[in-house]
Amino acid sequence: MVRRSVLFAPGDKPALMRKAAKTDADTVVFDLEDAVAPADKEDAREAVREVLNDVESECEVCVRVNPIGISAATDLGAVLEGATPDSVMLPKAEAAEDVQRIDRLLEERGVDLPVLSLIESASGVLRADDIAAADATDALLFGAEDLAADIGATRTSEGMEVLYARERTVIAASAAGVGAIDTIYTDYEDLDGLRESTKRAVQFGYDGKMAIHPDQVPVINDAFTPSDEEIAWAERVVEADAETDAGVFEVDGEMIDAPLISQAERILERAREAGRQ
């Protein structure tokens, strides 16, 4: 499943959830965790259930529950009384057991949903490979803001304080064959900064990026959608590879070997997922 843009909407704001579902985001997340004050959790559960029942959207609709051990079970019990979302997001995943527990909660309620696991703590980073390999995990998401708070780091525009965790998350996801979604860009009015951050996420190997405002969605989608030039180059590489038995060959004056063939195949796969082919 393509998840270039993953847009969050607060679970206690029905109008914003409905608005998010009408954007071009690939995934919309109705958030019962950080976006909702403790006193408003019950009202938010009811609001999410009501919106799920009547929302019409072509995107993936996900619900972010509260962490295991807090109120994940209560969240699922309330939300799943109505329509079923397409996926569930598990915040602060710190071990494969957390994913297994959320999967059991879903099974107890008669549903089988992919789990999007958020890596946003020191423990989660160190166990990212196990979390990614859990059967129910369909994607890892990197949460830089919570991680920085957990380890006492100061967030900077360069992001060097979370670089190791950002790289480890995408490597763990790739090794397990699941999706990798990059952290949010908090200044939603700074689209140039978002564009640069998203470009870096693409370079790191991420498949998508989280968003906190609808205006961020087009920038993110564009960055994770191959350009016409990239698609044309990839097609030439794949075609040339099919026509030769050589391990190394030339395309456009460039020597092409196995890693570049893999890169070309990935570009074409992303193009297909984005509806460009």
**Beta carbons within 8 Å of 239's beta carbon, 6+ residues apart:** none
Overall size of the chain counted in residues: 277
> Tokens standing for 234?
């990839």
**Beta carbons within 8 Å of 253's beta carbon, 6+ residues apart:** none
Q: Give the mean pLDDT of 152-162.
A: 94
Task: Convert the pLDDT of each residue in 127-144 to its tens digit.
Answer: 999 999 999 999 999 999
pLDDT for the residue 15:
96
* CATH assignment of 5-224, among 3.20.20.60, 2.60.40.10, 3.90.1170.50, 3.30.465.10: 3.20.20.60
pLDDT for the residue 266:
87
Give the integer Cα–Cα distance in Å for 242 and 260: 14
* pTM recorded for the entire structure: 0.91
pLDDT category of residue 57 using cuts at 50, 70 and 90: confident
Most confident of 55-64, 118-127, 237-246: 118-127
Task: Convert the pLDDT of each residue in 185-232 to its tens digit.
Answer: 999 999 999 999 999 999 999 999 999 999 999 999 999 999 888 999
pLDDT for the residue 274:
77
DSSP string, the chain: ---SEEEEEETT-HHHHHHHHTSS-SEEEEESSTTS-GGGHHHHHHHHHHHHHH---SSEEEEE-PPTTTTHHHHHHHHTTS---SEEEETT--SHHHHHHHHHHHHHTT----EEEEE-SHHHHHTHHHHHHSTTEEEEEE-HHHHHHHHTPPP-SS-GGGHHHHHHHHHHHHHHT-EEEEPP-S-TT-HHHHHHHHHHHHHHT-SEEEESSTTHHHHHHHHTS--HHHHHHHHHHHHHHHT---SSEEETTEEE-HHHHHHHHHHHHHHHHTT--
pLDDT for the residue 277:
65
Given a contact cutoff of 8 angstroms between Cβ atoms, the answer to whether 181 and 140 are in contact is yes
C-alpha separations of 4 from 119, 228, 273 in Å: 18, 18, 10
Apex CA 218: angle with CA 217 and CA 221, to 5°?
85
pLDDT for the residue 56:
83
Calculate the average pLDDT of the chain: 94
Q: Give the mean pLDDT of 27-50.
A: 95
Helices (H), 109-211: 122-126, 128-133, 144-151, 163-176, 191-204
Lowest mean pLDDT among 140-144, 176-180, 269-273: 269-273
Give the integer Cα–Cα distance in Å for 56 and 62: 13
Q: Give the mean pLDDT of 81-92.
A: 94
Residue 153 has pLDDT above 80, yes or no: yes
CATH 3.20.20.60 residue window(s) in the chain:
5-224
